[in-house]
Amino acid sequence: METNVNQPIDFIREIIEEDIKTNKNSGRVATRFPPEPNGYLHIGHAKSICLNFGIAAQYKGTCNLRMDDTDPAGETMEYVESIINDVKWLGFDWEDRLFFASDYFERLYDFAEELIKKGKAYVCDLSPDEIREYRRTLTEPGKESPYRNRTVEENLDLFRRMKSGEFADGSRVLRAKIDMASSNILMRDPVLYRIKRTPHYRTGKKWVIYPMYDFAHCLSDAIEGITHSICTLEFENNRPLYDWIVNELIEGEKPRQIEFARLNLSYTILSKRRLIELVEKGYVAGWDDPRMPTIAGMRRRGYTPEAIKTFCNKIGVAKKDNLVDIALLEACVRDDLNENAPRAMCVLQPLKVIIDNYPEGQTKEIECPNHPKNPSLGKRKVPFSKVLYIERDDFSENPPKKYKRLSPDKEVRLRNAYVIKFSHLIKDGATGEIKEIHCTYDPATKDGPSLDGKKVEGVIHWVAASHAIPIEVRLYDRLFTVEDPASKGDDYLNYINPDSLKILYPCFAEHNLKDALPGARFQFERIGYFSLDPKDSTKERPVFNRIVSLKDTWSKLAK
Ligand code: ATP
Ligand code: MG
């Protein structure tokens, strides 16, 4: 398990260390990651996962995985399974502590009755609009509900009848009796339970009343003995309510809520509601579309769990919201792959090259290192023959100044192989497009000096036409054209990048790639990092996703 011993200490860890020092909770540290199974996890969740599991590991505590499934609308088993899969893939272990808030429905109901019996909760018949109206605004105290002073007996009776399904959806709610004049609107008698006849994916039709988040979350924490309940800043105003409920109902040690700034990532949307919209309206090919900021999308694209965790540790934990540059995430992915991905050659936009002085039908196996700096990744054999493909861009008939690739008067080295020299070219009579170029090679130049003893600056990649395998390459770019699509509100769909996916076929890859396993990652030399798509690849047509380019083409990192 990951520990963060080299991490600079953040304000949450400061609190925890202080609590350990003062022996609060007998020195125990228990955290939880509490997703609602109403969507797939995204990179923002990864930040929370790394924080909660990271803290548990660092302070020899525990971290629970809890499905916060108290609102039946939109929650499904598919989402539960995806969450389990994603947290596991990131490399975290909750051991036997997978919990479901829906398993606590009975106990939460009992807690609610207890509040009623203490005179701290009442059944209210106001409509949702009326409740809002009575709460009024920050500048004036709220107005008390006419149902606020019902007797305990009447409240208990009505609440039990709410539970047994006697009343229509939305006709009554259970409210905490706190303070209608509180400066915190959330403390003006918040709703604790509502009637909702939506079947729950786990409890079916057993319940027609469901606890609200504010009631269920803190008590679920208490039930599990959570010591530090870490959540995002938008819950800051809920903290007094969290504390109020826990203080009314829990004896002894109580969980403490601590808020941190959620991750916002440039050129990215991290709201489940919006991600659902992208999927349902077909803007992307599903939750695991490699352009999605979901863990599933990133996994399919070829991101490594290590890179995601490095990123989460780098951005740290702040108390104020900010926008993190996606280039930082891409740089983490690039650094990891640069060190660990074996190299391969693949030509994306092929131009045929014929080596006129190379014997027809002959093939030479050239041994190539799989990694320039890491010999433990081994070597592979790449065939060389008379007809090759090079990248269209790597030849220029009228090269600009400083052009270092192949041109009529400039030799170039074929990576790991010979130096070649231009001879002539053949164009398509109708279109004027270059069909093929003819070159000569010097057999003495493999690993040696250039044809005329001069240093050859340019090195280009290539594949032998006789052995190359055709592959499909998917080039991904950012899904949005603006830095902060979330700031566009409901108009965010107008800022989808129309060029976020380009498909190239056929690209020609060295034949070694035919044995690549789904998910295998490579650096295609001089091009970028790619991985074999686990879903759409076939034997006949392997599909490679571009994970990330070799360099940051958007260059915003300097900002
Ligand atoms: P969304 O706002 O995208 O709908 P959510 O907060 O409703 O997401 P949950 O399933 O409730 O999603 O989130 C589970 C946990 O992950 C919560 O503790 C939440 O605070 C945290 N979390 C969600 N989004 C982010 C984010 N962008 N950065 C950090 N933590 C996040
Ligand atoms: Mg939430």
Report DSSP letters for 81-129, one per residue: HHHHHHHHHHT---TT-EEEGGGGHHHHHHHHHHHHHTT-EEEE---HH
Cα–Cα distance between 300 and 545 in angstroms, integer? 8
Cα–Cα distance between 137 and 209 in angstroms, integer? 28
pLDDT of residue 1 exceeding 80, the answer is: no
Residue 44 CB–ligand 1 contact under 6 Å: yes
Which has the closest alpha carbon to 544: 523, 557, 526, 69? 523
Cα–Cα distance between 528 and 451 in angstroms, integer? 30
SS3 of 500, please?
coil
Rounded mean pLDDT, 424-448: 90
104 class by beta-carbon count within 10 Å (0-12 exposed, 13-18 middle, 19+ buried): buried
Point out the catalytic residue in the list 36, 224, 259, 472.
Answer: 36
pLDDT of residue 556 exceeding 60, the answer is: no
- Residue linked to tokens 């709220």: 142
Of the pLDDT bands very low, low, confident and very high (cuts 50, 70, 90), residue 18 is very high
Residue 45 CB–ligand 1 contact under 6 Å: yes
- Pairing verdict, β 191-195 and 209-211: antiparallel
Residue 271 CB–ligand 1 contact under 6 Å: yes
To 10 degrees, the CA torsion angle through 38, 40, 42, 46?
A: 90
**Helix crossing, 43-58 with 77-90: angle to 10°?**
60
Nearby residues of 398 by Cβ (< 8 Å), 6 or more positions away: none
> How many whole angstroms from 555 Cα to the centroid of ligand 1?
29
Which has the closest alpha carbon to 291: 43, 556, 82? 43
Residue 445, pLDDT score:
75
482-526 residue pLDDT tens: 999 999 999 999 999 999 999 999 999 999 999 999 999 999 999
Contact present, 119 and 151 (Cβ < 8 Å): no
Residue 217 CB–ligand 1 contact under 6 Å: no
> How many whole angstroms from 273 Cα to the centroid of ligand 1?
11
Instruction: Give the distance from CA 121 to its chain's centroid.
Output: 40
Residue 370, pLDDT score:
97
Ligand nearest to the CA of 37: 1
Q: Is 177 marked active-site?
A: no
Contact present, 87 and 1 (Cβ < 8 Å): no
SS3 of 200, please?
strand
- Pairing verdict, β 412-414 and 419-427: antiparallel
> How many whole angstroms from 328 Cα to the centroid of ligand 2?
26
Cα–Cα distance between 309 and 64 in angstroms, integer? 19
Q: Is 402 marked active-site?
A: no
283-322 residue pLDDT tens: 999 999 999 999 999 999 999 999 999 999 999 999 999 8
Q: Is 130 marked active-site?
A: no
Ligand 1 test: best mutation among 42, 48, 55, 274, most atoms within 8 Å of CB? 48
Residue 6, pLDDT score:
58
448-471 residue pLDDT tens: 555 455 578 899 999 999 999 999
Which has the closest alpha carbon to 68: 53, 83, 85? 83
135-193 residue pLDDT tens: 999 899 999 999 999 999 999 999 999 999 999 999 999 999 999 999 999 999 999 99
214-227 residue pLDDT tens: 999 999 999 999 99
Task: At 63, list the tokens.
Answer: 């971290």
Residue 274 CB–ligand 1 contact under 6 Å: no
Cα–Cα distance between 452 and 433 in angstroms, integer? 31
Residue nearest to atom 10 of ligand 1 (CA): 35
Residue 231 CB–ligand 1 contact under 6 Å: yes
Ligand nearest to the CA of 36: 1
Report DSSP letters for 35-84, one per residue: --SSS--BHHHHHHHHHHHHHHHHTT-EEEEEE-----TT--HHHHHHHH
Task: At 503, list the tokens.
Answer: 């498909």
Sign of the four-CA dihedral 547, 519, 345, 428: negative
Cα–Cα distance between 537 and 512 in angstroms, integer? 16
Residue 442, pLDDT score:
86
Contact present, 147 and 121 (Cβ < 8 Å): no
How many residues would you count in the chain?
A: 559
Contact present, 312 and 304 (Cβ < 8 Å): no
46-57 residue pLDDT tens: 999 999 999 999
Q: What is the pTM of this model?
A: 0.94
Of the pLDDT bands very low, low, confident and very high (cuts 50, 70, 90), residue 204 is very high
Residue 272 CB–ligand 1 contact under 6 Å: yes
Sheet holding 30-33, edge to edge: 30-33, 62-67, 98-100
**Can you list the domains of the chain with their CATH numbers?**
11-260 (3.40.50.620), 272-342+471-558 (2.40.240.10), 346-461 (2.40.240.10)
